[in-house]
Amino acid sequence: MGPCRMIVIRHGETGWNLAGRMQGHVDSPLTALVLHQARAAGRRLRETHLDAVVSSRARSSASGSWASSRA
């Protein structure tokens, strides 16, 4: 097996982040900006071959937006 490349994309902003609230394991909603960024990342990586994708199970994960923009 040759070298592998890992691409990491992480959301960074929720409504609670903006309000300065502690989140812990609470699943607070993502902001519109993050959803826009996830869609843009998906479009940018549309032609990239991926052997695996690992995503959060949290409702606040932007993975749905990212994945739909790759279709």
Q: Is residue 4 part of a domain?
A: no
What token pair was written down for 42? 């998906």
Q: Is residue 10 part of a domain?
A: no
Task: Give me the domain span that covers residue 57.
Answer: 15-70
In terms of Cα–Cα distance, which of 7, 49, 58 is closest to 29? 58
Q: Is residue 63 part of a domain?
A: yes
Q: How far is CA 33 from CA 2, 30, 39, in A?
A: 37, 8, 10
Identity of the amino acid at 24: G
Q: What is the pLDDT of residues 11-58, one digit of tens each?
A: 678 888 888 888 777 777 888 888 888 889 889 988 998 888 887 766
Q: Is residue 7 part of a domain?
A: no
pTM of the model: 0.63
Q: Is residue 9 part of a domain?
A: no
**How many structural domains comprise the chain?**
1
Q: Is residue 2 part of a domain?
A: no
Query: Would you say 16 and 28 are in contact if contact means Cβ atoms under 8 Å apart?
Result: yes
Q: What are the backbone dihedrals phi and psi of residue 14, each rounded to the nearest 5 degrees, phi first?
A: -120, 170
